[in-house]
Chains A and B, each alone.
Chain A
Amino acid sequence: EIVLTQSPATLSLSPGERATLSCRASQSISNFVAWYQQKPGQAPRLLIYDTSDRATGIPARFSGSGSGTDFTLTISSLEPEDSAVYYCQQRINRPLSISFGQGTRLEIK
C-alpha cells in the first residue's frame, strides 16, 4: 500500500509570504499527483492535477512540482483567503484506488 505523508501538519504564515507544502509517497509513484483545497464546511476544490497543471480558475500563485516520491504545492504570495486545509492525492492502478495525504492546515496570520 502506498502511503502519502504531508508535512508540515500545520503552517502559520503572513499574507504575502510563500508557502511550501510537501507530499511524500512511501514508494515511487507516477506523476499524477493532485492537490485540493478545503475550507470549513465546504467540499474540496481541485487546485493542481497531474503534478503541475492548474485547474480551471485557479490563480497563478498556486503551483505544483515534483516527481518520484516527493511532490510540492507552492503558494507564492499568500492571500487571507488561502487559509484552508490542503490535501495531496494520487491514484493507484493495481488494484484501482485513490489515496489522500492526511492534510496540511494553512493558517494566515
Chain B
Amino acid sequence: EVQLLESGGGLVQPGGSLRLSCAASGFSFGSYFMFWVRQAPGKGLEYVSGISSNGGTTYYANSVKGRFAISRDNSRNTVFLQVGSLRTDDMGVYYCARQKAGSYSLDYWGHGTLVTVSS
C-alpha cells in the first residue's frame, strides 16, 4: 500500500524556518517525481515545489523561490521541504504528493502537516 507521511510542521514566528519531511512507503520511491502542495486555511490548493526522481532537478512556485528548498534522500525514501523566511501567507497545510507514472497528475497524497506562522 502506498503511503506518504508528512511531519515537521508547527508554530513558527514570522521570518523563521522549518524542515518538513515526507516519508514514503509501498512503492519504488526513487522512480517517482514528487511534489509539495499547500492549502491555506479555507482556501484552495497551491503548488509549492517539485523534484525529479533522482533529485537532480528542482522546481518552485514564484511565491516561494529563494525561500524554500526541496530535496530528497532516495536511500531513506524521504522528500524534504526546507521552508524559510516564513510569512503569514505561508501558513497552511503542506501536502506531499506523488506524480502518477506517465501522467501529470498526483495520484497519492499524504495527510498533510500544518504550518502556523504567528508571533
Contact = CB atoms under 8 A, between A and B. Distances in A.
Interface of A: 32, 34, 36, 38, 43-46, 49-50, 55-56, 85, 87, 89-91, 95-103
A48 to B, nearest CB: 8
Contact of B47 (A38, A45, A55, A100): A100
B59 interface: yes
Interface string B29-71: 0000001010000001111001000000101010000000000
B interface: dominant SS:
strand
A43 B104 contact: no
A interface: dominant SS:
strand
B45 A32 contact: no
Contact of A34 (B37, B47, B105, B109): B105
B59 A89 contact: no
B111 A43 contact: yes
B103 A50 contact: yes
Task: Please provide the 8 A-B residue pairs with the shortest distance between their CB atoms, ordered closest to farther.
Answer: A34-B105, A91-B104, A49-B105, A43-B109, A32-B104, A100-B45, A96-B59, A98-B47
